[in-house]
Structure 1
Amino acid sequence: MTATMIPVRQIRAQYDDATLRVYQAYSDTIAESALKHQTFVAPPFKMERMTWIKPSFLWMMYRAGWGYKDEGQARILAIDIAREGFEWALAHGCASHPEPGMDEQEWDALKKRSPVRVQWDPERDLHHRPLEHRAIQVGLSGEAVRLYIGDWIQRITDVTPLAHQIHALVAEERLEEAKAALPIERPFLPG
């Protein structure tokens, strides 16, 4: 039996017909406000900053250290957004780095036209080791942030307890149980 090859760049996410789940990590103050309002409210959320959303649970765990990395990333939020919003973001994005051969003027012009950045980083395993395939991160700014908080967000859930539970299983080397507790993410093809 051969293992299924995962393409180097493939969006994998938990989703249904209407929504796609992304993750973000925040301080207690921002997380509590978001959970109360079921969107992000300024303040404490900063509208003028780029906000990065990540469909990969394990990449988020790597980035936030399972919610233990620092106080600013102590709370892991699962944000279910409209699939149409996620697809809009992909359609209005550019890579987070210039294409080979692109001069600085072209790169600046492209960034100004694009309210979204798309970045592919090595996916992580339960021990945060990099894998061969990559996970997508989507950076939202300007118009994209306004749409995200005003239209796309359908539900926000605190998944910090799940992150801590899986982390404890990994620490105890109970890897099969840890894998079984992970959210089920499957390939997503924008419509």
Structure 2
Amino acid sequence: MTHQVRAVFTEETITVYQAYPSGIAVPAVKAGTFVAPLKRTRMTWIKPSFLWMMYRSGWATKTDQERILSIEITRERFEWALSQACLSHFDQKRFSDKESWRAELESSPVRIQWDPDRDLNLNPLPHRAIQIGLSGEAVTKYLDDWIVGIADVTQVAGDIHEAVRDGHRDEAEAILPHEQVYPLPDHIAERIGSQ
């Protein structure tokens, strides 16, 4: 299967990642959720794939992405988000025409995007990683209700990157979060294009 949700998860929670500047990350870790200056009115993207987050943030070196946060949210709320989602691209298997897709995209509080997952060298892999964009109602629920805990894992990212740079792949893999295929209910898998 090329489109699967791969993540660290327990019976109750799933871990997603976001990258922010210190001005947002430090208060979030302290408060246990995101607080000002984070803007609730903007779409926020959560990513279950650690290495895709490393690719997106350049190992936490890109501007305004210097801190990597690990956010634990409830599986129940995560699955609610996916059940409300619309794919960010037109899929003729799910929609009869582009107009009906656009109408759902505009009304949905959650967007799904699939991009090539990454290996330790940040090269693309054959399977896809999911990105989940939250807006409107979904952002409010995420900030006020879903989050179980937030941790700053920037040092972990740095340690993995250093091990990769130094050619110590075994060491890097030992530190890397152990992600597994998340067991999606069939109706959700169909909705988000998991295959």
Q: With the length of structure 2 as denominator, give the TM-score of the two structures.
A: 0.90
Q: Which residue of 1 aligns with 2:143?
A: 149
SS of residue in 2 equivalent to 1:144:
helix
Query: In the alignment, which residue of structure 2 is the partner of 1:86?
Result: 78
Matches of 1:108 and 1:49, distance apart in 2:
20
In the alignment, which residue of structure 1 is the partner of 2:118? 124
- The match for 1:46 is 39
Name stretches of at least 5 consecutive residues in structure 1 with no aligned partner: 1-6
Q: Report the equivalent of 1:4.
A: none
Q: CA deviation at 1:102?
A: 2.6
Are 2:153 and 1:164 equivalent residues in the alignment? Answer: no
**What does residue range 1-191 of structure 1 map to in structure 2 within 5 Å?**
7-41=1-35, 43-70=36-63, 72-100=64-92, 102-103=97-98, 105-191=99-185
Secondary structure at the aligned position of 2:120 is classed as coil
Whole-angstrom distance in 2 between the partners of 1:160 and 1:35? 12
Q: Which residue identity is paired with 1:55? A: P
**Residues 24-54 of structure 1, C-alpha deviations (whole Å, 9 max, x = no match):** 000000001101111011x210111110000
1:126-179 deviation digits (Å, cap 9, x = unpaired): 111001001111000000000100100000000000000000001101111111
Separation of aligned partners in 1, 2:184 and 2:116? 21
User: What one-letter code is carried by the residue in structure 2 that aligns with 1:92?
Assistant: Q
Q: Distance in 2 between matches of 1:73 and 1:122?
A: 20
Q: Identity of paired residues, percent?
A: 53
| Aligned positions, number | 182
Q: Supply the distance in 2 between the matched residues of 1:171 and 1:62 (Cα, whole angstroms).
A: 15
Shift of 1:111: 1.6
Paired with 1:95 and 1:102, the residues of 2 have a C-alpha distance of: 14
- Residue 106 of structure 1 and its aligned partner are, at CA, apart by 2.2
SS of structure 2 residue aligned to 1:66: coil
Kindly provide the amino acid, as one letter, of the partner of residue 102 in structure 1.
Answer: D
C-alpha separation in 1, matches of 2:2 and 2:41: 32
Structure 1 residue runs of 4+, over 6 Å off?
Answer: none
Counterpart residue identity of residue 42, structure 2: R
Counterpart-to-counterpart distance in 2, 1:56 and 1:64: 12
Structure 2 unaligned segments of length 5 or more: list them.
186-195
